[in-house]
Amino acid sequence: MSTIKHYLSLIKFSHTVFAMPFALIGFTLAIQKVQPFHDWWLFAKVIGCMVFARTAAMAFNRYIDRRFDALNPRTAIREIPAGIIKPGNALVFTIVNSLLFMTVTYFINPVCFYLSPVALLVVLGYSYTKRFTPLCHLVLGAGLALAPIGAYLAVTGVFDLLPLLFSFTVFFWTSGFDIIYALQDEEFDRAHKLNSIPVLLGKKNALRASEVLHAFSVGLIIFAGYYGHFSWIYWVGAAIYSGLIVYQHSIVKPNDLSRVNLAFGTTNGIASVIFAVFVITDIFL
């Protein structure tokens, strides 16, 4: 049991709450196109894909960053630098979850299977990006943005604009809050020649960049609401989501990062779950 707990901690399983609600939005949009829908085994496969892909991505990130994590006082307690999980085991864990992800996509449909290596390239490739570009946050955003359109493709096998709008929402939202999270390591990253928006622009301007990205996210939520002809239920969820985006920026200041984890983890997790509940309720009603 303790081993399972360590691996769940390694991959920050609780952070699944970021992209999973948007995947459920994509899935719900799709099943409205396929009526009547009875294949709930497909739903389990979609959830499995989300879990396997994210697990592979996080385990690989911890494996690739283990040297830097050991040097950073904030991350030295993580499982690999602390000696709780061996690097080789983390790599095997990554490979197993990547293979499980591709296997499950094979049993969904050909489109998902053929695109699965591309998805893995994005979510695994993110771990290298801090070595050469400050736009690493956008790569992470692209990885999580696959959730809504991926779930939609699993059901329909075709692309559509509305789930793509939600994917771009996730892209800008994730990129923005990852910049906030990276504020904590600005000095460390600069000293070790790692790239990030805070390193490139400094804390104050990095927060401005995050605000711009989040403004695009809110704008896409609004556009998707009009394009999808949603009811007042959607707009209540959109208002709460937007309010929580504004709130997280109100509690993080360049000279006060004490509430970064509240903004990054708690606020964004609540925002995604509440928004998804309202959107899915609207779709079904």
Question: pLDDT digit string (tens) for 227-285?
Answer: 999 999 999 999 999 999 999 999 999 999 999 988 888 899 999 999 999 999 999 98
Phi, psi of 256 (to 5 degrees): -150, 95
- The amino acid sitting at 279 is V
DSSP string, 234-274: HHHHHHHHHHHHHHHHHH-BTTB-TTHHIIIIIIHHHHHHH
Q: Is the pLDDT of residue 187 over 90?
A: yes
pLDDT tens, position by position, 18-58? 889 999 999 999 998 887 777 889 999 999 999 999 999 99
pLDDT of residue 33: 84
pLDDT of residue 40: 86
What is d(CA 201, CA 197) in angstroms, rounded to the nearest whole number?
Answer: 6
What is d(CA 209, CA 219) in angstroms, rounded to the nearest whole number?
Answer: 15
Residue ranges of the domains in the chain?
A: 2-284
Residue 219: enclosing H or E segment and its boundaries?
Answer: helix 197-227
| Mean pLDDT estimate for the chain | 94
pLDDT tens, position by position, 98-149? 999 999 999 999 999 999 999 999 999 999 999 999 999 999 999 999 999 9
CATH 1.10.357.140 corresponds to the domain 2-284: yes
